[in-house]
Amino acid sequence: MTPLSYFPYRNGTLHAEAVPLPKLALEFGTPSFVYSRNALREAWATYRHAAGDRDVLVCYGMKANSNLAILNEFKELGAGFDIVSGGELARVLAVGADPAQVVFSGVGKQVWEMQAALRAGVKCFNVESEAELDRLAAVARDLGLPARASVRVNPDVDAQTHPYISTGLKENKFGIPIDRAEAVYRRAASLKGCIEVVGVDCHIGSQISEVDPYLGALDKLLALIARLGSQGIELRHLDLGGGLGIRYKDEQPLAPRALLERVFERLDASGLGHLQVVLEPGRSLVGNAGILLTRVQYLKHNDARNFAIVDAAMNDLLRPTLYGAWHDVVAVAPPPPDAVRANVYDIVGPVCESGDWLARDRRLAVRQDDLLAILSAGAYGFSMASQYNTRARAAEIMVDASAYRVVRPRETIESLFSGESTWAP
């Protein structure tokens, strides 16, 4: 899937599926996130086809985009969910997802979050430290509800991606070092009645395009599983996390099939073909299913740069300034070539920070009041949005062919401070 697959130009105007984006901008304003429902379905199908008839549970890494409409779509398609907080648990329960298909990751699980997940009956806690294992055992004992658990192993492999989104190296806070894992499993297995050991888990990073880092991690996990087996600790599933990249520009993303074929081969070769494979993809399920629609407020030129100041900002899409991430920016209705001279622009927002930029050095023919689309904004766009500068978070709109629906209205300004009060009685 490319950034434009579900956002085609028709008669010179960018559409979301069959809906012209200017129509959505007029009806709902800008900035708005626009999602393509059929892009979600296609991304999901890529995983399903790759799994074939093997036992693969795809748990959507919902931190990428946790709008209920997106969760509900994946639930209907048969997805499980990877959650990292009590808040995310509440969201998956709100759409009626089956908790038996929910895995709970994260390094800082609090007591209330463990209690809620145990009561809900999640499939598995991905335990990230020995202290967490002890806490989980205590909470499970108090509730009289045994906790199914995997150890999240840090396999110390380089995912060859941006340092901020690389998680499988020794220096990262995530997981339990692979050389400690065996001891932790022995301890977990001894906590009978409180902890039931069911799997092993790792997640090495995000926006990964090579298969080798996964296979490097897998080999280490397989060796660990064999050592555990010889000590009578049998596992039921192997969770390889998420991390498959998407195309923002010209990347050649790793296809689920290319990964899973190699995984199945190695599992079969190790006599572990019976293990369920769990994946936790986020970005690759939603990234290219969304754009951020924004309107140019002003063009501004100084000696050094040209700026297109738009109504979206770093609070709507944090990735460019946080990671130096590149998102394509296109004109929704490009003017005729002789009408406007193209210039090289920095696309910036109204927030009072020099870091408030969405794209740099882009050649665009653009006028004041034109609409722009910032592509590949379906993952880690709205979910990382804030209200900095007391800016209401953007509307979210979902399109299905020629139908569309607001799946989260633009926030009202009053709602941004409605819970606050002055000191006065």
The residues binding ligand LLP (CB under 6 A) are 61, 63-64, 82, 105, 165, 203, 206-207, 241-244, 280-284, 319, 323, 380
C-alpha angle 51-64-18 in degrees, rounded to nearest 5: 80
Peptide bond before residue 31 is cis, with ω within 30 degrees of 0: yes
Contacts 24+ apart (CB under 8 A), 23-26: 24/293, 24/397, 24/399, 24/404, 25/293, 25/295, 25/332, 25/371
Q: From the CB of 198, what's the least distance to ligand LLP, in Å? A: 17
Q: From the CB of 251, what's the least distance to ligand LLP, in Å? A: 13
Residue type, 205: G
Q: From the CB of 165, what's the least distance to ligand LLP, in Å? A: 4
CA distance 359 to 329: 7
Question: Do 59 and 241 meet the contact criterion of CB atoms below 8 Å apart?
Answer: no
Element spanning 124, H or E: strand 124-127
Output 141 or 360, the one with its CB closest to ligand LLP: 360
Output 256 or 334, the one with its CB closest to ligand LLP: 256
What the block records as the tokens of 190 is: 């001894």
Transcribe 260-308 into DSSP letters.
HHHHHHHHHHTT-TTSEEEE---HHHHGGGEEEEEEEEEEEE-SS-EEE
194: buried, middle or exposed (CB in 10 Å: 19+, 13-18, 0-12)? buried
- Which residues are designated catalytic? 352
Q: From the CB of 379, what's the least distance to ligand LLP, in Å? A: 6
Element spanning 237, H or E: strand 237-239
Q: From the CB of 216, what's the least distance to ligand LLP, in Å? A: 17
Output 37 or 283, the one with its CB closest to ligand LLP: 283
Output 168 or 334, the one with its CB closest to ligand LLP: 168
Output 3 or 334, the one with its CB closest to ligand LLP: 3
